[in-house]
Amino acid sequence: MNDEIKLEELKILEETYRGAVPELKFNSVFELLVAVILSAQCTDKRVNQVTQVLFPIANTPEKILQLGQSELEKIIKPCGFFKTKSKHIIETSKILLENYGGEVPESFDELIKLPGVGRKTANVVTGVAFKNPAIAVDTHVFRLSNRMKLAEGKTPLEVETGLQKIIPREKWSDAHHWLIWHGRKICKARNPKCSDCPLKKICPASEKT
C-alpha cells in the first residue's frame, strides 16, 4: 500500500480521535509507571479499579516499600500476574530511591532498565508523562498497524519502526492514542465494525471482512 493511502488513513484517525487521552488514571509520573506495569495482560478499566485502592495509600516509591510486597500483592491481585508485577514494582521503587532520588527518569534508555519496564511501558511514560515523541506498541497498535497496513511487522519493534517512518515525529504520541481508541471502539480483534468505520473506503482490511 502506498504512502498516500497511509497518510489518508492517519488523517481520518486524527480527525476522528483528536484529543484522545489515556484511559489510565494517574496524578504523577510514578503513578503512571505503576499503572502501565499493572496493565500488562489486563484492561485499563481493571487497573483503574485497583489503583483507586492502591494510590491513596502508596503512590510513591517510599510508600510502596513501606507497604511491602505481600500487601502489594493482595491489592493488585485482580490485575493478574500479581506476584511478578509486585516484585517488579518493589524492585523498581528501590532503584528509583537508590539511583534517581525517588524520581522516575525521563531518559528512555534509563526507563527501559527498570524491572518490568519494556519498550511499550517506557514509550508510554516517555510520551504521556514527559511529552516526548514516542509510539508505544500495545496489542491494539500492533493489530491495527498490520491490519491497516500502516506498518507491517512480526514484532512490536518492527511495527514501531515502521510507524515512526510514516507518522510525523511531532504526532507520534498522539497517533498512539488514535490507534488505541480505534482498536477499542471499532477495529476490534474479533468482529471489527467495518460497516461503522470511518476508514472503510480506504482500509485494505475492509474488503476482506
Mean pLDDT score of the chain, rounded to an integer? 95
Q: What is the pLDDT of residues 125-179, one digit of tens each?
A: 999 999 999 999 999 999 999 999 999 999 999 999 999 999 999 999 999 999 9
- Evaluate the CA torsion angle 103, 104, 107, 113 in order and state its sign: positive
Residue 206 confidence (pLDDT): 78
Residue 208 confidence (pLDDT): 59
Please state, in angstroms and rounded to a whole number, the distance separating the CA atoms of residues 25 and 8: 32
Characterise 56 by phi-psi region: left (phi > 0), alpha (psi -120 to 50), beta (else).
alpha
Residue 207 confidence (pLDDT): 60
Question: Residue 196: exposed, middle, or buried by beta-carbon count in 10 A (0-12, 13-18, 19+)?
Answer: exposed
The residue to which cell 500487601 is assigned: 71
User: In this structure, what C-alpha cell is assigned to residue 121?
Assistant: 511501558
Residues in the chain predicted with pLDDT less than 70, given as ranges, are 207-209
Residue 1 confidence (pLDDT): 73
Catalytic residue among 63, 83, 85, 120: 120
The reply to whether 138 belongs to the active site is yes
The reply to whether 120 belongs to the active site is yes
Catalytic residue among 6, 85, 138, 174: 138
